[in-house]
Amino acid sequence: MQLEDKVIIVTGGASGIGGAISKVLVRRGAKVIAVDVDEKAGADLQNEAGGSLTFLKGDVSQQETADAAVDAAQRKFGKLDGLVNNAHASRQASFTDLDQSAWDLSFNTGFIATRQFMLAAYPLLRVNGGSVVNFGSGSAIVGQPTQAAYASAKEAIRGLSRVVANEWAPDNIRVNIVSPMALTQGVKAWSEAAPELYQQSLSKVPLGRFGDPEADVAPVVAFLLSEDARYVTGQTLMADGGANKVY
């Protein structure tokens, strides 16, 4: 299998895009540490995956959560091969209406969490090399209205990823970014709250639909974690039906 015996941490790994990623990685042979605040979703996923997945409840903005996830990988599976920084919470409002708490939420669960998990994972990843997959967003690339805090954190993540891809290359650790457009529960809620913006976004997708988290986005992440992508680093892969272009 593509990821047989790989040990991978997935943040926000119990539901949504993260849950889809966890399922696909297990299906392809990986052992997964799924980190999430949703205890019920995590327990359900762990029961479904059996011994191939360990659920860890934790707030990704806290350093101790990152440390605990890496420790769990070491204790349960003896190594760490990959890290997927998927978790990110945010609130949408026009730039002038975003208060400090909205900025703190987006940066703490997005950029800060990504930095902390990468630093915690590095000592194990450098042993045999490995792969980090971080998440960007088309809303940042095109400047989507109401997404200032989220977009800013996502572009900070992309900048960090490109730098670390260069710094960690001698350790054979690859760092890449996936920018998805997927029909998650959050996107469904957004489509109801802002139907005009949703339709504008949908109209720009050449393939004519938002992607399915499990069928369209998770396999791209699995590819980047696998040896098939051994010569790919520092890249942004747009899993968005052609909606946005990065040159």
User: Looking at the annotation, which residues are catalytic?
Assistant: 150
CA 178 to CA 169: how far, in whole Å? 19
Start-end of H helices in 89-136: 100-106, 113-128
Nearest CA among 22, 81, 75 for reference residue 213: 22
| Matching residue, tokens 């895009």 | 17
Cα of 237 vs its chain's centroid, Å: 12
Nearest CA among 39, 31, 33, 83 for reference residue 57: 39
Contact 85, 176 (CB under 8 A): no
CA 246 to CA 21: how far, in whole Å? 23
Strand spans (E) along 80-165: 82-85, 130-135
